[in-house]
Structure formats: structure tokens, C-alpha cells
Amino acid sequence: MSRFAIGIDLGGTQVRAALVDEHGKIHQRLEERTDAEAGPDRVLGQIGGLTERLRSACDSSAVVGLGVSAPGPLDTELGIALDIPTLRGFSNYPLREELQTRLRLPVSLENDGIAAAIGEWQFGAGLGLRNLVYVTVSTGIGGGVIADGRILRGRKGMAGHVGHMSIVPDGLVCSCGGKGCFEAYASGTAFTKRARARIAECEETSLAHIGDVLDSRSVFAAAESGDRLANDLVDEEADILGRGFTSLIHIFSPEIVIMGGGLSQQFDRLQAGIQAHVERCAMPAFRDVGVVSAALGQNSGLVGAAALAFLPRRSAAES
Amino acid sequence: MSRFAIGIDLGGTQVRAALVDEHGKIHQRLEERTDAEAGPDRVLGQIGGLTERLRSACDSSAVVGLGVSAPGPLDTELGIALDIPTLRGFSNYPLREELQTRLRLPVSLENDGIAAAIGEWQFGAGLGLRNLVYVTVSTGIGGGVIADGRILRGRKGMAGHVGHMSIVPDGLVCSCGGKGCFEAYASGTAFTKRARARIAECEETSLAHIGDVLDSRSVFAAAESGDRLANDLVDEEADILGRGFTSLIHIFSPEIVIMGGGLSQQFDRLQAGIQAHVERCAMPAFRDVGVVSAALGQNSGLVGAAALAFLPRRSAAES
């Protein structure tokens, strides 16, 4: 009999749920807008509702467990949401226990960057590899690492916050409150912000007419059409990403770096610039490390969360 | 019967050797100047000579193996020195195999930062912990990581090159050829270089009279005596170290960061500044991570290398 797991990707905007088999295949996928202001009781109700709908879509006894990916930091050893800035009330909240009580299923909890890394490792661009760094480049920047064939978790399961390595001394203020973080320069949000500032200074660019609806997609589209400023902005973004990835390559010695998140939809345009930076700036022994895009696209975290239910459960000592 | 291992710390200046027991205690310690220009045959002769002297100091059948720490990057999966810039001829050199053949002992090879991390984890400041980052701050900056109770090695065993994370865009040229690396700003060499430049600009400092013999120790001594420039330099160094360590805390989520290397002799003066940076700039969930100095001082790598001989040997699959 086939076994299934339910993956939940709990975000500040959307809560997604999927029924996933042991091969990482999504059999059904649901999503709804997160009621982010309503507090944990309502949000857990949303997760419960989605879970029940997926369970009723298959033989519910075939569902071995639920894996939840959420923005952190989460203490996944204790199963606690320490503080989720985008979800009201999730402060020192015992997320795993509450879900287990409500849903009567084994629940695994993972910081979202790590969950996505697991998805890509088990079923995506990192299949069969022993060492990889996954970096999501989206509103913010997060990450997760597979090292020596194992999931890197660190104290409280909080490893992989690669968006908060400092890349500019006393630099731009980051969402974390710090200054000069990788996220503050290379995230999709940072990219769009930089684009707006440059457009205001530039006399000749097709982007000048776009106004408030400008987003990263419009910049890439203008670059494709030959707009000079847009191409400069994209090249600069690739270079900043390449610089951050090169640091991570020196730190982790992965076989590949996998880029996911919204901005990875533009990976084809970014790849050459990113890879050029790695080849130019990494130490010789690290120059052959490739940067690739996530194979599961926006589903890395969802599938990775589900995969947790199939992996051997970790004990406190193995956290 | 007591079992012993021999640890070798092969550096560009000194080659050190020690007879170490299973509790990390050094029973005998030897060192000599590395004949760095003479090529591998001579250097392996030096290691062989030191090994024989230590073996004859105990029941040689009690020696279970030899662990070697060397500057990298080394491919420790294959046992090859890829390129040791400070030792002539160690380029794609099969160091492990050559030593095994000559010495008829099982030989383990480890990149020096990782070896030192193992020493501190097994017998030093990280005893009993599951997650730690070790950073050596000396001529250069290296590192090694214990994560989830295991040694982090990465592809080819080359993880932990934390000195080569980029902290300044297009910054100072680093020994690796890159620009803006942590090493280029925070190493002992960088500290002394910055001191020289500031002394040349400053009218009132007791350091102006020291001239060419200025080293990091003289700056710390002047700071102790109340010299303002020296104190500014030391505070700045602590801040740069704190910034790099904060990045590593976000990336690895360790329980502690252990600082070793020559500059850690001044740890008492640096600690407050480093810890203040962590508390100010780390995300709330990471602010309680402590920074401590290496308990084994200059012997972390030597004892860590010896410890390799006692640890379960890694197979290719476990690399």
C-alpha cells in the first residue's frame, strides 16, 4: 500500500498543504490566505481544515504524519515557534504539541529554509548528493544545509540563517534589525528597492514609466528588452548573490548551491553572473562548485516538510 | 594498558608532534623548524623523525595511529594535499598514503581548522557540546565546526574556511587572492597592518616610537597602558571579530564560538567588545551564544589531530 505524508508550508501570506507520497510526488495541493492577524487558534484551524481535506482524499490510514515548515526562528528541538514576525501570537508558542493534539498525527516541525533544503535533497536538484547549500531568495533570504549526507540543524534546529551573514560593514538596515546583512542587499525586496532608487536617478530607462507597480519581474523584462539600467541592475544582483554564495561555498564546501525562492524564476538570466563571481573569487579548490536552481520550484519547502514524516524521527539526543 | 596516539601539526614555520593519551593529555611534545623549501621528501623525513622519537618514548605497540593537521585546502577524503602555499612541493601530493607507507601506522589527515575544532570539542572549551564553531585568528583565519554532535567536513573535507567569507564589497586583497575576506580584516596580520597605517596618521600615540618591530602584542600592551589609538585599534578589532562571529552564529547556530590562534592570547581584552557586537547584532534567538577562548591554547590542533586516531575511522561513504 502507498504511504502518504502531509506537508504544510505555513507562511505569513499563504498556508499551503499537500498530500505527498514517498517519492516526493504531490497528489493533491491546497492553499489559502493565512489569517495572519487572527492568532494561533485560527491559524491552527486553517491547518487542520486543509489536513482533513487532504486526508479525506486518500485512505486516511495511509497518512503517516504531518511535516510543517514555518518561518523562524523556530526551536525545532522543543517544537516551539519562538517568534514568527509575520504571524500574530506565535511567540513562544508550542506549535508541534498543539498540532499533534488537534490532528492526532505525528508532527515534525522544521525551519523553512531547512525544510526546502530537505525537499531539494530528497527529490530535487540535490538528489543523491552528500553536501549542498540551499538558499531561498525571495522577500527575504533563508537557507538550509545538507552536510556529509545529513541535515544540518544546529542548536535548537536554527542553523541556516544565511540571510543574516554580514556582507557590508555598517550597511543597510535589515528586516532582522541588524545592518549590512546579505538579505538587505540580495533579497527580492532589496533588488526592487535598489531598482527604484536607480530609476529615480536615471534619465534614460524604460522603467521610468512603470511607477509604483514596479517589481523584480518588470526589471527582468526590461533587461530582456535591452534596457541598459535594467541590465546593470540584474548584473549587480547576480554579483551580490555570487559573493554571498562564494562565502557559503568556503564555509560549507558543498557540491552545489541550489537557489530557490521567487527570484530563482529569473535564474536563467542570473546564473552566468553568479557563476562568474564564484569562478573569479572562490579559492581554486572551490571554483568548480556549481550553482543551480531549485528543481521543485515553489514546492521545495512543502515537499521537504512532507519528507520529514518519512525520515527516521529524531530523538532529543539527535536533534 | 594505556593507548597513545601521535598528533602532528604541520605548519609552514614549525612542525610540532605530540604523544597524546585518550584523555587528550600530552605526554611528550616536540617541535622543529619546518624545512619548508626542501620539498615533501625532507618534510616527511622530519615528521618521521619526530614520530620515531615519540614512539621510542613509550611502548611503541601502544601507539594506535597518527593524526596529521595541515594547512589546506587538503582533500581529506582522498588524503591529498591539494596545494599548501607555505610548503614547497605539496601540490596534489598524496600525503596520507606516503606517511602510511613510511611509518607503518594508520594515518588520518585533517584540515587544520577542523583538527583544532576537534581538539577543543573532545578535550577543551567545547567538551560535551553538540554544536560549536572554532575560529583561529592568527596570521590568517581558519575554522572548524561541530554540528549536531558530529564533525562537519563537507565535500573533500574542506568545510570551515570561514576566513574567506566576504565581509566588505570589493575590499582589501586577501592572501587567497580574493577581496574583502574576513581574514583580510580580522587576522593578526590585518590587525598589525591597520595599526601601522593608523600610527602613521596619528600625532599622539606611544606606538609611534616602536617602528618596525610593532606587532599585535605591542598594540595590546600600549592599550593596557592607556594609549588612546591603541585602545581604538583593539576595540575596532573586537568589533570586526564580533561581526564575523555573529554571521557564523546565524549560519551554524552553535552553542558557543571558540576563538583560538595567536590573537586569542589577548582574548581577555577582546571578549567584551566581541560579545557586545553579538548581543547588539544577532537576531534575538541567537543573542545568548557565548564567545570563549580556546582551552588548549596553541595545542588545539595537535591534540585534535591525535584525537583522530582514537575516533572511529571514517569510510569513504562517511567522509
* Residue B318 in this model has a pLDDT that exceeds 50: no
Tens digit of each residue's pLDDT (9 = 90 or more) over A213-235: 899 999 999 999 999 999 999 99
Give me the CATH code for the B4-111 domain, please. 3.30.420.40
Which of A92, A151, A161 should one mutate to test binding to chain B, selecting the residue with the greatest count of B CBs within 10 A? Answer: A161
Which of B135, B146, B156, B166 should one mutate to test binding to chain A, selecting the residue with the greatest count of A CBs within 10 A? Answer: B166
* Residue B202 in this model has a pLDDT that exceeds 60: yes
C-alpha to C-alpha distance for B7 and B119, rounded to whole angstroms:
11
pLDDT of residue A314: 64
Q: Does A281 touch chain B (CB under 8 A)?
A: yes
Q: Which residues on chain A are in Cβ contact (under 8 Å) with B157?
A: 253
Cell representation of residue B183: 581574514
Q: Does B85 touch chain A (CB under 8 A)?
A: no
Are B151 and B160 in contact by the 8 Å Cβ rule? The answer is no
Do B4-111 and B125-294 agree at the fold level?
Answer: yes
Residues making up chain A, counted from first to last: 319
C-alpha to C-alpha distance for A280 and A245, rounded to whole angstroms:
12
Nearest CB to B155; choose among A73, A131, A244:
A131
Q: How large a percentage of chain A has pLDDT more than 90?
A: 90
Q: Does B49 touch chain A (CB under 8 A)?
A: no
Are B124 and B300 in contact by the 8 Å Cβ rule? The answer is yes
Which of B240, B249, B283, B286 should one mutate to test binding to chain A, selecting the residue with the greatest count of A CBs within 10 A? Answer: B283
Residue B151 pLDDT grade (very low, low, confident, very high; cuts 50, 70, 90): very high
CA angle A164, A170, A175 (to 5 degrees): 40
β-pair type (A256-260, A132-137)? parallel
C-alpha to C-alpha distance for B210 and B218, rounded to whole angstroms:
8
Instruction: Examine residue B85 and say whether the peptide bond preceding it is cis (omega within 30 degrees of 0).
Output: no
Identify the residue with better confidence: A100 or A203.
Answer: A100
Q: Which residues on chain A are in Cβ contact (under 8 Å) with B161?
A: 250-251, 253, 283, 286
Tens digit of each residue's pLDDT (9 = 90 or more) over A109-119: 999 999 999 99
Q: Which residues on chain A are in Cβ contact (under 8 Å) with B170?
A: none
B261's torsion region: left (phi>0), alpha (psi -120 to 50) or beta?
Answer: left
Identify the residue with better confidence: B85 or A151.
Answer: A151
Tens digit of each residue's pLDDT (9 = 90 or more) over B45-84: 999 999 999 999 888 889 999 999 999 889 999 999 998 8
Q: Which positions 202-231 of B are in contact with A (Cβ < 8 Å)?
A: none
Nearest CB to B283; choose among A73, A252, A284:
A73
CB contact under 8 Å between B148 and A152, yes or no, is yes
Q: What is the mean predicted confidence (pLDDT) over A241-254?
A: 98
Tens digit of each residue's pLDDT (9 = 90 or more) over A284-316: 999 999 999 999 999 999 999 999 999 876 644
CB contact under 8 Å between A161 and B73, yes or no, is no
Q: Which positions 286-305 of B are in contact with A (Cβ < 8 Å)?
A: 286, 289
Nearest CB to A247; choose among B75, B166, B289:
B166
Between the CA of residue B119 and those of B125, B224, B308, B309, what are the distances in Å? 9, 31, 9, 12
C-alpha to C-alpha distance for B219 and B212, rounded to whole angstroms:
13
- CATH H superfamily, domain B125-294: ATPase, nucleotide binding domain (3.30.420.40)
Closest CA to B162 of B228, B246, B96, B106: B246
Nearest CB to A161; choose among B72, B147, B250:
B250
Q: Which residues on chain A are in Cβ contact (under 8 Å) with B165?
A: 165, 247-248, 250-251
Q: Does A152 touch chain B (CB under 8 A)?
A: yes
Residue A6 pLDDT grade (very low, low, confident, very high; cuts 50, 70, 90): very high
Listing DSSP states for B187-217 in one string gives: SHHHHHHHHHHHHHH-SS-GGGGTGGG--HH
Q: Does B128 touch chain A (CB under 8 A)?
A: no
Query: Which residues 6+ apart lie within 8 Å of A277 measured at CB?
Result: A238, A239, A241, A242, A243, A245, A246
pLDDT of residue A60: 83
Chain A, chain B: beta-carbon pairs less than 8 Å apart: 161
Torsion of CA B277, B283, B285, B288, to 10 degrees: 0
Q: Does B148 touch chain A (CB under 8 A)?
A: yes
* Residue A318 in this model has a pLDDT that exceeds 80: no
Q: Which residues on chain A are in Cβ contact (under 8 Å) with B252?
A: 152, 154, 159
Q: Does B168 touch chain A (CB under 8 A)?
A: yes
Query: Which residues 6+ apart lie within 8 Å of B220 measured at CB?
Result: B230, B234, B266, B269
Are B230 and B206 in contact by the 8 Å Cβ rule? The answer is yes
C-alpha to C-alpha distance for B137 and B142, rounded to whole angstroms:
7
CB neighbourhood size of A37 (10 A): 10
Listing DSSP states for B1-36 in one string gives: ---EEEEEEE-SSEEEEEEEETTS-EEEEEEEE--T
* Residue B314 in this model has a pLDDT that exceeds 80: no
Q: Does B312 touch chain A (CB under 8 A)?
A: no
pLDDT of residue B317: 43
CB neighbourhood size of A88 (10 A): 16
C-alpha to C-alpha distance for B202 and A206, rounded to whole angstroms:
50
β-pair type (B107-111, B150-151)? unpaired
pLDDT of residue A313: 65
Q: How large a percentage of chain B has pLDDT more than 70?
A: 98
Q: How far is A181 from chain B (nearest CA, A)?
A: 9
Edge-to-edge strand ranges of the sheet holding A80-83: A74-75, A80-83, A91-93
Bridge partners of B144, per DSSP, are B134
Is ipTM > 0.90 here?
yes
Q: Does B170 touch chain A (CB under 8 A)?
A: no
Q: How large a percentage of chain B has pLDDT more than 90?
A: 90
Are B139 and B187 in contact by the 8 Å Cβ rule? The answer is yes
Q: What is the mean predicted confidence (pLDDT) over B217-224?
A: 97
β-pair type (A63-70, A107-111)? parallel
pLDDT of residue A224: 97
Tens digit of each residue's pLDDT (9 = 90 or more) over A52-83: 999 998 888 899 999 999 998 899 999 999 98
C-alpha to C-alpha distance for A290 and B38, rounded to whole angstroms:
37
Domain boundaries, chain B: 4-111, 125-294
* Strand ranges in chain B using DSSP code E only, listed in sequence order: 4-10, 14-21, 26-33, 63-70, 74-75, 80-83, 91-93, 107-111, 132-137, 141-147, 150-151, 256-260, 290-293
Q: Does A153 touch chain B (CB under 8 A)?
A: yes
Residue B319 pLDDT grade (very low, low, confident, very high; cuts 50, 70, 90): very low
Helix, strand, coil percent content, chain B, rounded in steps of 5: 45, 25, 30
Q: Does B82 touch chain A (CB under 8 A)?
A: yes
Q: Does B25 touch chain A (CB under 8 A)?
A: no
Residue B209 pLDDT grade (very low, low, confident, very high; cuts 50, 70, 90): confident
Q: What is the mean predicted confidence (pLDDT) over A198-217?
A: 90
C-alpha to C-alpha distance for B208 and A179, rounded to whole angstroms:
34
Between the CA of residue A167 and those of A23, A132, A150, B243, B247, what are the distances in Å? 38, 21, 28, 10, 9
Between the CA of residue A40 and those of A9, A16, A18, B76, B296, what are the distances in Å? 15, 16, 21, 48, 48
CB contact under 8 Å between B251 and A284, yes or no, is no
Closest CA to B113 of B137, B82, B135: B135
CB neighbourhood size of B285 (10 A): 19
C-alpha to C-alpha distance for B258 and B125, rounded to whole angstroms:
7
